[in-house]
Amino acid sequence: MANWRRFGLDEVLAHFQELEDPRSSINRKHPLASVVVVALIAVLAGASGPTAIARWAAFKEELLTAVLPLPNGVPGKDVFRRVLMALRPEAFQACFAAWVRALRGEAEAATGIERPTLAVDGKTLRRSHDRKNGLGPLHAVSVWASEYGLSLGQAACDEKSNEITAIPELLKLLDVAGAVVTIDAMGCQKEIVETVAAAKGDYVLALKGNQGTLHQAVVDHVLKRWDDDFAGEPIGRRQTVETGHGRRESRTYIQLEAPKGLPGFESWRGLRSIGVVVSESVRDGKPADEVRYFISSLPVGPGAKAFAHAVRSHWGVENGCHWTLDVTYREDESRIRARHLRENMAWLNRFSLSLLKQHPGRDSVAMKRRICGWSDDYLMQVVSGSTC
């Protein structure tokens, strides 16, 4: 008997039992939960849309009918397409909530990190537009737990500028208590700060011209104190040096108490510190320097360790999530245009990436995904969270 027959997916199926079936009851041959789980497993193995999901399922019918309730065999392309087009993305994603919480708990136990960085950032699927029907490309905001390699949630918005309204609603759906939320300059908004603080989380937000008065006041304060090396002021300072791939980069992190005289100080709930990061790099023999400013609810700590960690960890959403989705999943090339279908596929991509990240094997995500396509045993290990 094949090893994969040991794996039961009852716990996986349970996450989708409460999902309302959008299909007509007439000629309904395949349980909704099984259709969703097949789609997820197929994406793990390399599928990128309903046609590929159905083709993979047809080749793996023996496996799928052994581990899932599929009394009428595996569904066809039209079933997957209709289901993923009809399911409301909010309801679809909500069914993964308990699974995500379990994965987060396991990751916390495995890493020992109780205060994760939740990096919030948006990504546009550039080829998902449908000009004929007036549909722009999908822009989705994601929350990525950088230390865990785990996507906690996603919210679609029409364009990048709408991130400002999408982010607070997304954060309200998640457990951010005790975590450090990081967002680029567009997310430096009072409503977002209020949402994070109300949920008992902390924040580190990049500061640029969209908060022009506050940004200039922070710059002026830092430059004024820089000349006397911040004498007499509580300060956290940290320096790192990284080399590799033809570059050398040193970063200096400086964290100061937020002056109460900053414009609108009282409006930024929980504001306790300001920070500056000076990056000096040499890439292929050419210097490239950058100075970035931040506001934060983190207290000034020795060595600015927590501040520096949050700033660096924010790039996990770009390097560990978005880059992988583009390069390994080829997401930026997707021509899926139906609104709900493209949102649901985007979430399946992010969640399957999270499952691959949790697998302890040392192979790259691209290689793990290939192995899922090659080995039924390995595939069942990834989806069930087992390594036996």
Residue 374 falls inside a structural domain: yes
Residue 367 — φ and ψ, nearest 5°? -70, -40
pLDDT, one tens digit per residue, over 127-150 is 666 666 666 667 889 999 999 999
The SS3 of residue 288 is strand
pLDDT, one tens digit per residue, over 24-69 is 888 889 999 999 999 999 999 999 999 999 999 999 999 999 999 9
Q: How many Å apart are CA 49 and CA 51, to the nearest integer? A: 6
pLDDT at 314: 94
Residue 327 falls inside a structural domain: no
Asked if the model's pLDDT at residue 102 lies above 80, the reply is: yes
CATH number, residue 129: 3.90.350.10
Whether 195 and 228 map to the same domain: the answer is yes
User: Mean pLDDT, to the nearest integer, of 301-308?
Assistant: 90
Asked if the model's pLDDT at residue 338 lies above 70, the reply is: yes
Whether 168 and 45 map to the same domain: the answer is no
Residue 177 — φ and ψ, nearest 5°? -60, 130
Please write down the long-range contacts of 182-187, taking CB distance under 8 Å and 24 or more positions apart: 182/117, 182/118, 182/119, 182/120, 182/310, 182/311, 182/313, 182/314, 183/119, 183/120, 183/121, 183/314, 184/121, 184/314, 185/209, 185/210, 185/211, 186/160, 186/210, 187/120, 187/163
pLDDT at 203: 97
Instruction: Supply the DSSP symbol for 160.
Output: G
pLDDT at 161: 59
Q: Which residues contact 154 (CB under 8 A, 6 or more apart)?
A: 93, 140, 141, 142, 143, 170, 343, 346, 347, 350
Question: CA angle 384-387-388, nearest 5°?
Answer: 105
- Give the chain's domain count: 2
The SS3 of residue 59 is helix
Token pair of 213 as six digits: 């008065």
Q: How many Å apart are CA 305 and CA 101, to the nearest integer? A: 27
Whether 368 and 265 map to the same domain: the answer is no
Residue 196 falls inside a structural domain: yes
Asked if the model's pLDDT at residue 117 lies above 70, the reply is: yes
Q: Which residues contact 74 (CB under 8 A, 6 or more apart)?
A: 38, 54, 57, 58, 60, 61, 64, 65
Which stretch, 175-189, 238-252, 334-348, has highest mean pLDDT?
175-189
Of the CA atoms within 13 Å of residue 133, those in its CB half-sphere come to 8
Whether 134 and 256 map to the same domain: the answer is yes
Residue 92 falls inside a structural domain: no
Whether 142 and 289 map to the same domain: the answer is yes
- Characterise 264 by phi-psi region: left (phi > 0), alpha (psi -120 to 50), beta (else): left
Rounded to the nearest 10°, the torsion over CA 326, 101, 148, 293 is 80
User: Mean pLDDT, to the nearest integer, of 255-282?
Assistant: 94
Which residues form the domain of 161? 97-322
Instruction: Select from 322, 350, 369 the last residue of a domain.
Output: 322
Q: Assign 310 a pLDDT band (cuts: 50, 70, 90).
A: very high
Q: Which helix (H) or strand (E) holds 243?
A: strand 235-244
Whether 111 and 229 map to the same domain: the answer is yes
User: Mean pLDDT, to the nearest integer, of 104-121?
Assistant: 94
Q: How many CB atoms lie within 10 A of CB 36?
A: 24
Asked if the model's pLDDT at residue 96 lies above 80, the reply is: yes
pLDDT, one tens digit per residue, over 158-168 is 666 578 888 99
3-state helix, strand, coil in the chain (%, to 5): 50, 20, 30
Q: How many Å apart are CA 97 and CA 34, to the nearest integer? A: 18
Q: What is the mean pLDDT of the chain?
A: 90
Q: Which of 84-88, 115-119, 196-200, 206-210 shows the lowest mean pLDDT across its residues?
A: 206-210
Asked if the model's pLDDT at residue 1 lies above 50, the reply is: no
Closest by Cα among 273, 201, 185 to 236: 273
Whether 69 and 137 map to the same domain: the answer is no
Whether 240 and 105 map to the same domain: the answer is yes
pLDDT, one tens digit per residue, over 344-385 is 999 999 999 999 999 999 999 999 999 999 999 999 999 988
Residue 331 falls inside a structural domain: no
Residue 284 falls inside a structural domain: yes
pLDDT at 179: 97
Residue 333 falls inside a structural domain: no
Whether 153 and 208 map to the same domain: the answer is yes
Whether 311 and 343 map to the same domain: the answer is no
Query: 337 versus 128: which is more confidently predicted?
Result: 337
Whether 73 and 219 map to the same domain: the answer is no
pLDDT at 282: 77
Q: How many Å apart are CA 176 and CA 168, to the nearest integer? A: 12
Question: How is the beta sheet containing 235-244 ordered, strand by strand?
Answer: 150-157, 138-145, 117-125, 180-183, 202-207, 286-296, 273-283, 247-257, 235-244
Q: How many Å apart are CA 354 and CA 96, to the nearest integer? A: 12
Whether 81 and 207 map to the same domain: the answer is no
pLDDT at 334: 80
**Block residue for tokens 């094949």:** 2
pLDDT, one tens digit per residue, over 223-247 is 998 888 888 888 999 999 888 766 7
pLDDT at 163: 82
What share of the chain has pLDDT > 90, as a percent? Answer: 71
